[in-house]
Amino acid sequence: MLYAIISQDVENSLEKRMNARPAHVERLSQLKDEGRLILAGPHPAIDTNEPGEAGFTGSLIVAEFDDLIAAQAWADADPYIAAGVYQSVVVKTFKKVLP
C-alpha cells in the first residue's frame, strides 16, 4: 500500500536540513532502488524551485510500505527528525488515482 509522509519543518530549518540531507537522501535512494518510492521532495518557503536562504517549510514523500506501522517506523527514523528539522510528521494512507 502507498503512504504519504507529510512533514512540517521548524522555523529556520535550512542549516539543519543541509547538515542532515546526505543521510536523508541516502534513505530515499534505498526506497527508490527497491522500487517503492513514488515521489519525494521539499516544500520551498517561497514560490520558486530554488528558494535559497528562504529554505523550505516541510517535505512530502509517497512510498510503498507493508502497512501503516512500517511506514510510521520508517518516517520516525528519518535523519531530519534526529537533526531537529521537522516539528511534525503525519503518515497517512494514500491512494494513487492519476496518472
**44-86 pLDDT, tens digit each:** 999 999 999 999 999 999 999 999 999 999 999 999 999 999 9
Residue count (the chain): 99
**2-28 pLDDT, tens digit each:** 999 999 999 999 999 999 999 999 999
- Predicted TM-score of the model (pTM): 0.96
What contacts 72, CB < 8 A, 6 or more positions away?
91
CA distance 29 to 54: 26
Q: For residue 33, what is its C-alpha cell?
A: 532502488
